[in-house]
Amino acid sequence: MMNVMNKRLVFTSATEIVRVPAGSVVCITADGNYSAITLADGGNFVLTLQLGQIERRIAEMLDKDDCRFIRIGKSLIVNRDFIAFIHPVRQKMVLSDCCNFRHEVSASKDALKALKELLEKEEKI
């Protein structure tokens, strides 16, 4: 059985296959019928899949209790392990491993406010 940290996400299309360790995926952003995967090593892959299709495939590939990926609004999925900073009013979020990379994304105030509240609630447990 494969360790959760080593679990690979695999996305295929008619012309390509992308295989990446789930733990190295920082975020996935939508751009129309395409989605861009950003990795912790700075790499990017553009897929000919819509974000909803990717979201469903991730749910199928990972264990149901693995909730590290969270959808934020219409155009963003983030790996919650990399969330370092959220500022809903400025519509800004920083994803970082606090060592090698820092990636800034923006999302709606409401989506970031809900995410902030969710993370605060989880931290109190």
> Taking the alpha carbons of 47, 38, 21, 87 in that order, is the dihedral positive or negative?
negative
Over residues 36-58, the pLDDT tens digits come to 999 999 999 999 999 999 999 99
pLDDT, mean of residues 2-25? 82
pLDDT (0 to 100) of residue 6:
65
Over residues 63-101, the pLDDT tens digits come to 888 889 999 989 999 999 999 999 999 999 999 999 989
15 or 72: which carries more pLDDT confidence? 72
Q: Say whether pLDDT at 125 is over 70.
A: no
Residue 70 neighbours by CB distance under 10 Å = 15
Over residues 16-30, the pLDDT tens digits come to 899 999 999 999 999
pLDDT (0 to 100) of residue 4:
45
Burial 1-39 (b: 16+ CB within 10 A, else e): eeeeeeeebebeeeeeeeebebbbbbbbbbeeeebebbb
pLDDT (0 to 100) of residue 53:
92
First to last CA, the chain: 29
Mean pLDDT of the chain: 90
pLDDT band of residue 13 (cuts 50, 70, 90) is confident
Instruction: Report the amino acid identity of residue 22.
Output: A
pLDDT band of residue 3 (cuts 50, 70, 90) is very low
